[in-house]
């Protein structure tokens, strides 16, 4: 069999590519295969490395993680795996279950010990509470604990209402959703 690219040399490397669920087979000579692999390496960036780090242990978890979506910016965990970047601060809470182990793998720790922003005691604190509640809500839904979920939903609504009132008072009204 001759090489599919140069058509001159004997094909010794057989490659199966799957792009958009289309499978193609390539039969290459050694030289062309080396070129092809150099191309592939140059496309291999940081996002792939991160995605590699974020690989999960079990396939069913993989499916579950990919469908997770940040309620604030609508980035999905699958998006994160593809681009290697999170969408907003709330993504950290939305993907908490998977980001914890990832952070630990990157940094060897998942507990911040450094400085705290000076404003964390005020307005931001409420924001952190809301993020935490949203996380708990998601967990409750996953466990199908609908009574608990309803309570949490009400708490979030209450907190958001308070925040809206505060924002209107100070004339600030920023919305982080996309």
Partner 1 sequence: MEVNDLLKHTSEWLKGSGPNSDIVISSRIRLARNLADFPFPHWANKKQGEEILKAINEARKSADYLKNTVIFNLADLDALDKQFLVERHLMSQEHAQKTDHKALVIDGEEVLSIMINEEDHLRIQIMQSGFNLSQAWDIINRVDDGFASVLSFAFLPDWGYLTACPTNTGTGMRGSVMLHLPALVMTRQINRVLAAIAKLSFTTRGLYGEGTQATGNFFQISNQVSLGHREEEIIDNINGLIRQIIDQENQAREAMLAQNKPLLEDRISRSFGILESAHIISSQETTELLSMVRLGCDLGIVKDIDRRSINELFILTQPAHLQKIENKKLSSQERDIKRAELIRDRLKA
Which residues contribute to the site for partner 1 (CB under 8 A)?
Answer: 46, 50, 73, 75, 83-89, 92-93, 99, 102-103, 106-120, 123-124, 127-128, 131, 174-176, 178
DSSP helix/strand/coil, 28: strand
> Please, which residue, 11 or 72, has the CB nearer to partner 1?
72
User: Closest approach of Cβ 29 to partner 1, in Å?
Assistant: 31
Residues sharing a CB contact under 8 Å with residue 23, sequence separation 6 or more, in sequence order: 16, 17
User: Closest approach of Cβ 111 to partner 1, in Å?
Assistant: 6
> Please, which residue, 5 or 73, has the CB nearer to partner 1?
73
Beta carbons of 154 and 148 less than 8 angstroms apart: no
Beta carbons of 51 and 81 less than 8 angstroms apart: yes
User: Closest approach of Cβ 97 to partner 1, in Å?
Assistant: 13
Q: Retrieve residue 67's tokens.
A: 């469908």
């Amino acid at each position: 069999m001759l090489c599919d690219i140069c058509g001159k040399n004997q094909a010794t490397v057989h490659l199966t590519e799957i792009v958009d669920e289309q499978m193609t087979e390539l039969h290459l000579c050694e030289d062309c295969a080396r070129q092809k692999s150099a191309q592939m390496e140059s496309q291999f960036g940081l996002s792939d490395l991160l995605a590699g780090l974020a690989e999960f242990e079990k396939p069913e978890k993989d499916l579950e993680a990919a469908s997770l979506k940040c309620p604030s910016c609508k980035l999905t965990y699958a998006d994160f795996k593809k681009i290697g970047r999170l969408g907003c601060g709330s993504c950290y809470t939305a993907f908490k279950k998977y980001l914890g182990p990832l952070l630990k793998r990157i940094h060897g720790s998942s507990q911040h010990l450094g400085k705290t922003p000076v404003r964390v005691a005020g307005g931001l604190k409420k924001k952190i509470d809301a993020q935490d509640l949203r996380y708990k809500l998601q967990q409750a839904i996953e466990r199908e604990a609908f009574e608990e979920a309803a309570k949490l939903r009400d708490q979030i609504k209450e907190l958001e209402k308070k925040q809206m009132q505060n924002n209107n008072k100070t004339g600030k009204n920023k919305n982080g959703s996309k």
